[in-house]
Amino acid sequence: MQIESPFELVLFGGTGDLSQRKLLPALYLLHRDGRLPDGRVVCISRREMESVAFIDWVLAALKTHVASEYLEEAVWDGFASKLQLVCLDADNPDDYDALAAALSSDDVNRVFYLATGSNLFLPVCRGLSTAGLIGSRSKVVLEKPIGHDLQSAKAINESVAEYFSESQIYRIDHYLGKETVQNLLVLRFANSLFESQWNQHFIDHIEITIAESIGVEKRAGFYEQVGAMRDMFQNHLLQLLCIVAMEPPARLETDAVRDEKVKVLRALKPIVGDAIHRHVVRGQYDAGVSQGKPVPPYREEPDVHHKSNTETFVAAKVEIDNWRWAGVPFYLRTGKRLSERVTEIVVSFKEIPHSIFPMQHKNTMANKLVFRLQPDDGVRLMLCEKRVGPGMSVRPMNLSLNPANHRKTRVPEAYERLLFDALCSNATLFVRDDELMEAWRWVDPIIQHWNEIDLRPEPYTAGTWGPAASTLLLAQDGRLWVENS
Ligand code: BG6
């Protein structure tokens, strides 16, 4: 697959945090690998900035966020020549003429990337349309979270749909761009070994963890409005769940894949009423020690309200009501200021029915298949082997299925993959409107309930694995999170 040239990528929020940390570094790396053909990257900024200052700013961003071994002067010069800055106020329709002047008058391969709050999606689409910038080959990429509940997401979808058809809309969830997530699809659907075991007959439970060691950092203005449920659970965690639990699509085609994912979301057992207390844990970090340093409680972070009830941690027991997964709990959790940064999917197989070996604990020795997404990526299978020496004692053994040190190629960043796909008009790893709606439909009652009770989430010490209730969530089913087992 190749990007059609000349391309035009217009980044709204072009000098914002996401551009600085992820989008511009990803574009630079694509350019470095020779995968970005002739074209332009137009960054939109509300604040006035001279072109020279902008180019310096991009270079500083790359020096911070791209490994120094990939920064080469000649490559940078080529990349810099593709960059352009346009200063405009996205809310002001008159400002879009400046953007029109910077773009070609032809109907080229053009992607508008909206790395802004979803409240700006409508004004931006309207401004682009009035200025005649939306061509038949234009696409729009929407950053998450889209809306704050089902109703607002529907309203945003409808307004964007006035300007772009569904096939032109790319809702990004950068977790789908991570290499291990795609590898999970390959491992599941290119091997018969796993697929034959991938159901309630053989699997006891599945854990999906996205743990971060960082706190809210400088993003309180955003985070106070969303919390962990809207920031991570409604999108990243549920998308990972879909990839793990979906049926094999008939073909690797955009809608064939998305059809299967949406079926998983439709089959999620609703968690409503009293079940919310039993199945969902909501936490907020307190003071503690993170990576060896004392850190303040969430409520004392800059710009956080001192009585904030925003959750920084969510764990939930999720069930899928279908033949494949009936009776298999999926334990999902995410949080900030947790013990370490790790994203993992742990598939725990059923324990053996009877042990013939001394000292083999049936449950702790159950096989596990672990997909690690970060900080390093890889897949490992936990089996049992004989302990060397006399007797027949059994011990756990980790079989690495793709040792990172055997790999010669650089693992691309999620945003590299997704920006490339959007520029190539491949929407397979993007979220369709019905998936977004189903995800909101499922989380809405939980968020509504939290709003009604208006209580502080359960505090947990920064640098730990979250509130005690999270441990109890599994303990009540006789299970343990992977770090305790
Ligand atoms: C973003 C969230 O979508 O994902 C952030 O808004 C979070 O709060 C980030 O820190 C985590 O992404 P990654 O790729 O670093 O795990």
Mean residue pLDDT of the chain comes to 94
Give tens-digit pLDDT for 98-122: 999 999 999 999 999 999 999 999 9
pLDDT at 405: 55
Same domain, 187 and 122: no
Residues 385, 476, single domain; the answer is: yes
| Whether residue 410 has pLDDT greater than 90 | no
Atom of ligand 1 nearest to the CA of 222: 6
173 lines ligand 1 (CB under 6 A): no
311 lines ligand 1 (CB under 6 A): no
Ligand 1 atom closest to the CA of 414, numbered from 1? 14
Task: Point out the ligand 1 atom lying closest to the alpha carbon of residue 343.
Answer: 16
Distance CA 23, CA 36 (A): 13
Interval 21-70: pLDDT, tens: 999 999 999 999 999 999 999 999 998 999 999 999 999 999 999 999 99
Q: What is the CATH number of the domain that holds 463?
A: 3.30.360.10
Residues 216 and 326 in one domain: yes
Query: Ligand 1: which of 146, 176, 212, 411 to mutate, judged by most atoms within 8 Å of the beta carbon?
Result: 212
- Are 193 and 54 found together in one domain? no
Nearest residue by C-alpha to atom 10 in ligand 1: 212
pLDDT of residue 454: 86
pLDDT band at residue 189 using 50, 70 and 90 as cut-offs: very high
To the question of pTM greater than 0.85 for the whole model, the response is yes
Mean pLDDT calculated for residue range 238-246: 98
364: pLDDT confidence band, cut at 50, 70 and 90?
A: low
Confidence of residue 166 (pLDDT cuts 50, 70, 90): very high
Residue 327 clears pLDDT 70, i.e. is over it: yes
What band does 132 get if pLDDT is binned at 50, 70 and 90? very high
- pLDDT, position 158: 96
Do residue 240 and residue 374 come from a single domain? yes
- State in Å: Cα 408 to ligand 1 middle: 27
The answer to whether residue 156 is domain-embedded is no
Of 31, 174, 205, 236, catalytic: 236
Helix H, strand E, coil C: the string for 371-433 is EEEECCCEEEEEEEEECCCCCCCEEEEEEECCCHHHCCCCCCCHHHHHHHHHHCCCCCCCECH
Does residue 231's CB lie within 6 angstroms of at least one atom of ligand 1?
A: yes
Query: What total of structural domains would you count in the chain?
Result: 2
Distance 308 CA to ligand 1 centre (A): 21
* Nearest one of 186, 190, 136 to 164, comparing CA atoms: 136
Indicate whether residue 212 lines ligand 1 (CB < 6 A).
yes
Which band of pLDDT confidence, cut at 50, 70 and 90, is reported for residue 302? very high
248 neighbors 189 (Cβ within 8 angstroms): yes
Residues 457-467: pLDDT tens digits? 999 999 999 99
* Residue 449 bears catalytic tag: no
Q: Give, in order, the Cα–Cα distances in Å from 332 to each of 100, 110, 131, 210, 234.
A: 45, 37, 44, 8, 11
> Is the C-beta atom of 438 inside 6 A of ligand 1?
no
Q: Which domain holds residue 114?
A: 7-143
